[in-house]
Structure 1
């Protein structure tokens, strides 16, 4: 007798054939040009600067460049002037930028981004052209006859103010409006709502703006030369002179490493505001 075939009633599940995915492989391939670019134009130059900073002209390991830097009154004075100019510029930019960003974030006229575009438009113009145009304007109205340091700060504020406005505006425009409404429902007036809710929540934008303004202004010797009549020397100008005029790559690299250390410290200080979770204070 033939055996009866048992037909299973279990549903048949279709398992599609696994195809080899080339997506991850393609992503790895796309990362290769970026990695090459990063190595050639960031990592290798940084290693070269590190090498020159800790060697003398004969290629021997030496700390003489740093000793010469920290024992030279001229270089120390230049660093102090650069820091003071950067601090003054950053503070003025913050004082001017926060109200502007606050108005732009609340203004009904800026729903289409028209007002914000007016502040961004100057950034599309060449940096040197903006500096020269502002210098001519200050000369025309007679302000350029002021102190060279005042002129330099004015030029830096003019060029870097949009970099302070943008991050603050971005934070304010994305802020949860229900928190402001809850603050008012709990009886807080406009002043306390701002000081206890809005301002604490906007500190990440302030920290980003400070970072974007403070660091470049320490090295932007184009503005100091243009507005300071070539009489103000900041760190960027000092590094340029060591590499081009004096052909002392070792000393120039050492100054660049000191500047890098200052920038890292400032990033750590401002990064503290970003790292911690910012909440409104108790009303």
Structure 2
């Protein structure tokens, strides 16, 4: 009984923090999103959002950046994570550290350094804006894809791989029938950790091109202009998208986990 009371007391500061810095700001955003300039309930802000070609175009552009960034990160991280996790290396932690080390460097410094490198290679960054944005995003979020994949592949039972080989399965069959299906929880986790922040990340475009053509930057520009209603609408739309993606990824992971346990 005393331990339960102690836990409740220890949770009070955290609950107060959540109330002040998460719940109340969210309620303010919802209020501005569903009211007009006179404070009356209205869906006009949402109608204007989907009628505005700039905001819809920015949403599509943000989705494109997030999808391509996620695919490239997965394509680069999966083979490396598989080699490190299942390779015959005595110092796997050091190999993994090579990919994690950039996260220890300040984000602004990383992007500034990469901008200088790209400038030396291309001369004028304006020629390949989309490509350079993808490069910077991948450089920034690759470790977030690497870690879940590595953890998932490390926990994979080597006995299953050996059993598949003993039954005559080739390398390709072992990968597609054993390794890949069992590593799907890590893939889903990595995709979620890369897709969601890359869709709302505005620092890369702001630092390289001083551009607001991404959802995070568009929200910042509206709030900077004290346009609380339009800024709140975009925030709510992004929140709904993020909640939907998180729900679907969690549901898919749970279903896969139950299917694997049933086997």
Aligning the two structures, in what range does the TM-score lie when normalised by the shorter sequence?
A: over 0.9
Q: Using the alignment, how far apart are the partners of 2:26 and 2:90 within structure 1?
A: 43
**2:57 is aligned with 1:77:** yes
Number of aligned residue pairs? 258
Q: Which residue of 1 is the match for residue 33 of structure 2?
A: 53
Separation in structure 2 between the aligned mates of residue 194 and residue 216 of structure 1, nearest angstrom? 30
3-state SS in 2 of match to 1:138:
helix
Q: Distance in 2 between matches of 1:112 and 1:199?
A: 21
Q: Matched residue of 1:79: which SS?
A: helix
The structure 2 residue matched to 1:235, chosen from 212, 215, 238, is 215
Dislocated runs of 4+, deviation >4 Å? none
If you compute each CA radius of gyration, which structure gives the higher value, 1 or 2? 1
Q: Supply the distance in 2 between the matched residues of 1:202 and 1:222 (Cα, whole angstroms).
A: 32
1:1-283 pair list within 5 angstroms? 22-109=2-89, 111=91, 113-142=93-122, 145=125, 146-227=127-208, 229-231=209-211, 233-244=213-224, 246-278=225-257
Query: By how many angstroms is 1:231 displaced?
Result: 4.1
Question: What TM-score, normalized to structure 1?
Answer: 0.87
Contact 1:85–1:218, Cα closer than 8 Å, also in 2: yes
Q: Secondary structure at the match of 1:147?
A: helix
The offset of 1:39, in angstroms, is 1.2
When residues 150 and 112 of structure 1 are mapped into structure 2, their CA distance, relative to the original with a 3 A threshold, is: closer
**RMSD over equivalenced CA pairs, Å:** 1.7
Q: Can you list the C-alpha shifts for 1:216-241, whole angstroms capped at 9, x where unaligned?
A: 111111101223x1246100011001
Deviation of 1:67 (Å): 1.0
Q: State the alpha-carbon separation in 2 of the partners of residues 211 and 36 from structure 1.
A: 28
Structure 1: 5+ residue stretches without partners: 1-20
Structure 2 stretches of 5 or more lacking a match? none
Aligned-pair CA distance for 1:41:
1.2
Greater shift in the superposed pair: 137-146 or 191-200:
137-146
User: In 2 relative to 1, CA 258–107 (structure 1 residues): closer, same or farther, beyond 3 Å?
Assistant: same
d(CA) in 1 for partners of 2:27, 2:123: 44
Would you tell me which structure has more helix in proportion to its own residues?
2
